[in-house]
Structure 1
């Protein structure tokens, strides 16, 4: 296990897309999780596409993002506004496009689960337009007959767009305006933290389908953790076979991951991914600038167990079992519990 850094997948005038590659980090493939980071410059546009896995996006920066969804077997397009702190689930099979309608950069981290993907540990995108579009793979004669076009119209349809994946929309071109309200976007930054998960100067917000029903369609849970400078997040583990992928959104610090026969202990910084395999425990310590993370848990209602605090499993153990297990006296056991 190690802190993981992305590599460029596409770079252009309108923006870029970075990926964490399973060829660099085989554990991604072994656990079927993946990540990618989209950056759109002002008026940057990511063309319509669909992917082979479910994921969610978290807006890292930007206040004027726009995304459009077309759900399978639906004939209408849903257009939504995006801003910093927004959580936007993208279930498998949805066609989406992304646009930056602001004057500053729009950046979104995507975390997904790839058990049904073509490449384990990677998100494969199927593009609808441009030189890499799906229609380019069909014979022109077939496209001509499918859409009842003339040969000249077919050539114009297939060859007019020379840009690939991400490009800048010209001032003379326009895109749909977002709806004012949407049940498909949830601002996790503005949500009230889970009081149960507050430990010292650490605040944790977990978003499941109970809080935000649309995220249930992805089979995922999102967790936002914010630690003040030098704060500690007590160790936790997920009491079910669910892997966790953590992205550092702000600050720096140390993350420790401990399992039955291995452990990971490393300094982490903004922009890195950390994988927590199923049943492993994870602890976090913030640096001088604090530490903030967005995490994906591959479960709709994960059973997160604390290893410290009044709701922890250690607190629940009987005095006799605690003393025998840790080989300590009753006096020390009482002292320990008074500090938990």
Structure 2
């Protein structure tokens, strides 16, 4: 059966106001979201914008596209609030059920994209959020009679607690408000920078690939996700590969533009499309993908539905072409021994990113 892969920008506005906005990729526009049980959303926080405390029904990873954001995290049944300051290029894993709030204390907009899996979600292909405060919050839902009896408040106190916050998803706070500083006592590593090439798979003149897995961020093991960040210089190519463990890749173009080609089991492109900043696309299980940047270069952030993915390379000295015996390769490609030897010689070194031709 043919798999329809599309390239889309966020098409639904869940909220928009003077505090910022939250935007969603819908199942209607991108059916492969629900089919692959993944989802995506984008949060925009204007200066002093505050996302009210909430939790979600899905595991996901947030990637900061612009600005800096103060984040508060409270795990279920924990008396401790962990406060982080994350910046552009940082990725933060978020478990389902963990309460978080988000605040932009800076002078410029902050933007973060969330990519994750929805295998246990209320609606496959969508993140559903549950707010603890505001007009969409639990206090408002239980109303003053239950709230008063639960917390030992009189009628006026409980009604004030339930009704004083008239905001929904996002609110704008007053200038000069003092929010908590980042927690210095946090023992566990809760986020990581992924767009820094130091120590990563770097190809001179071509770009770099950075992976974030359970090996370098243990929290990813708990949520069953990992990330990949690819930066391609102008006209560089990311060599074809696939995820051999059957994981799905959900990919967001956060800078630049280029061309994406995805190939499935039928030996023809399932996707061959121009992409640009703000586009989202999904690579289904076992499908192979290659990317080539335009003159301006391209950056792609991906979340993979496995905390320790296994990638199968389709070029270079770790690829099937290098491993196959000569006679098998000749028979498979129906080529002469000379052609087979020439082709195999082209796979004698590591090929992940191919720089532009000089």
Q: TM-score, normalised by structure 1?
A: 0.96
The answer as to 2:265 corresponding to 1:260 is yes
Q: Return the offset for 1:146.
A: 0.7
- Aligned-residue offset at 1:190: 2.5
Aligned to 1:279: 286
Partner of 1:308: 315
Residue of structure 2 equivalent to 1:216: 221
1:172 shift after superposition: 4.8
| Deviation by residue 1:136-189 (Cα, 9 ceiling, x = unmatched) | 111421111011111101111011111111121102533211124751111112
Which residue in 2 is equivalent to 1:18? 23
Q: In structure 2, the residue corresponding to 1:222 is in which secondary structure?
A: strand
> Equivalent residue for 1:322?
329
Distance in structure 1 (CA, Å) of the matches to 2:344 and 2:200: 23
Call closer, same or farther: CA 1:163–1:298 in 2, change over 3 Å. Answer: same
Q: Does residue 34 in structure 1 map to residue 39 in structure 2? A: yes
What is the aligned length? Answer: 338
- Conservation of the 8 A alpha-carbon contact between 2:143 and 2:162: no
Quote the Cα distance in structure 2 between the aligned partners of 1:317 and 1:180. Answer: 53
Q: Secondary structure at the match of 2:120?
A: coil
- Superposed displacement of residue 110, structure 1: 0.5
Q: Tell me, which stretches of 5 or more residues in structure 2 are unaligned?
A: 348-358
Farther-moved stretch of structure 1 (138-147 vs 91-100):
138-147
* 1:189 equivalent in alignment to 2:195: yes
| Structure 1 position 193, deviation (Å) | 5.2
Using the alignment, how far apart are the partners of 2:320 and 2:282 within structure 1?
23
Aligned residue number for residue 88 of structure 2: 84
CA contact (8 A) 2:197 2:208 kept: no
SS in 1 for 2:299: strand
Instruction: Select between 200-209 and 274-283 the one with higher mean Cα deviation.
Output: 200-209
Which residue in the other structure is 2:157 paired with? 153
Residue 223 of structure 1: CA displacement?
0.3
Q: TM-score if structure 2 supplies the norm length? A: 0.91
Query: Who is 1:111 aligned against?
Result: 115
Q: Does structure 1 residue 237 correspond to structure 2 residue 242?
A: yes
- The reply to whether residue 173 of structure 1 matches residue 177 of structure 2 is yes
Q: Distance in 1 between matches of 2:236 and 2:311?
A: 20
Q: Is the 8 A contact 2:39 2:125 kept in 1?
A: yes
Deviation sequence 1:85-123 (CA, Å, 0-9, x none)? 111000111000001111111111110100000000000
Q: Which SS does the other structure have where 2:345 is aligned?
A: helix
Aligned to 1:79, what secondary structure does the other structure show?
strand
Q: Is the 8 A contact 1:32 1:113 kept in 2?
A: yes
Contact (CA 8 Å) 1:193, 1:203: kept in 2 or not? no
> Which SS does the other structure have where 1:211 is aligned?
coil
